[in-house]
Amino acid sequence: MAMIKNLNQINHINHKIISGSDNINTLCYDALNSVYYLGGTYNSTNLVLTGILGQTLPTSVGYDAFIARFQDNGGADYKSLQFFKDSLSKAVNSNVIVYPNPSNGNFTITSITNETITRILVNDLTGRVVFSKDCSINVFETNTDISFLPASTYFVNVSTLNNNYNLKIVIVK
């Protein structure tokens, strides 16, 4: 993927802040699939991202994150994520995120580059597998429920068709 340094380089993507502040910190171009990816955070604001269609991303308490995908043909879709500034939600150089983090045991795992998620393993601090889940074909996002486990830190191993990602999740009760 090629990095795009400025939103103005893409004539069909616009953004405006209704109130508050934003931090658009990721924008790349997938030339193979003709798709632009935009991500960032916003706080106390409604952020409008416009392709052919515009959508307002409403905020929740704290910070929010977003992932937007714009196709060269003008199509666009959006995902708004509740986000807390921490180092646990996304591993460095990972294309997979887990949110919300901390969690009550119900959380979502998303491949931000649409890699097919094939398997999820959750390990406790001793390394014991406490949960496993096989995913069907073409799953880029999956909800996971480990609320039956006690409050603790867990390691989440996400297998995709091409990679393995290791993330941490904190479960609070």
pLDDT along the chain (173 residues), means of 10: 40 44 51 58 52 47 52 52 44 72 90 89 90 89 94 91 87 89
- Whole-number pLDDT of residue 28: 56
Domains assigned to the chain: 2-83 (no CATH), 96-171 (2.60.40.3080)
41's CB contacts (< 8 A; 6+ apart) are 22, 23, 25, 63, 64, 65, 66, 83
- Whole-number pLDDT of residue 111: 87
Q: Which residue, chain included where needed, has tokens 């508050």?
A: 20
- Whole-number pLDDT of residue 30: 59
